[in-house]
A = this chain, B = another copy of it.
Amino acid sequence: MEYNVEVKISLKKGMLNPEASTVERALDLLGYEVENTNSYNTITFKIEEENELEVNKKVEDMCQKLLTNPVIHDYEISIK
């Protein structure tokens, strides 16, 4: 079966997010007042696998090996 996978990769709590703080400062300069700005990246792909359990195991491996840096990133896998 073919599964659609989404991996949401965000910085762990407490990590500085220079992209988000730059956006917040720039919005402020343009006159927009916003708070708690944050940003995260999402990777999506399709994978052919027998069942969802197997997909989850493989994607978990991909995250540990390549997609994320587990030292600084949190990730959330969703499979449809």
A interface residues (Cβ-Cβ under 8 A, vs B): 5, 20, 23-24, 26-27, 30, 32-48, 58, 61-62, 65-67
Check if A38 sits within 8 Å of B44, measured CB to CB.
Answer: yes
* A63 CB to nearest chain B CB (Å): 11
On chain B, the residues within 8 Å of A67 by CB distance are: 23
Residue from B34, B47, B48, B62 in contact with A45 in the complex, judged by beta carbons closer than 8 Å: B34
CB nearest neighbor in B for A67: B23
CB A20 to nearest CB in B, in angstroms, measures: 7
A76, chain B: closest CB distance, angstroms: 12
A46 CA / B43 CA spacing, docked (Å):
24
Contact B32 A38, beta carbon cutoff 8 Å? no
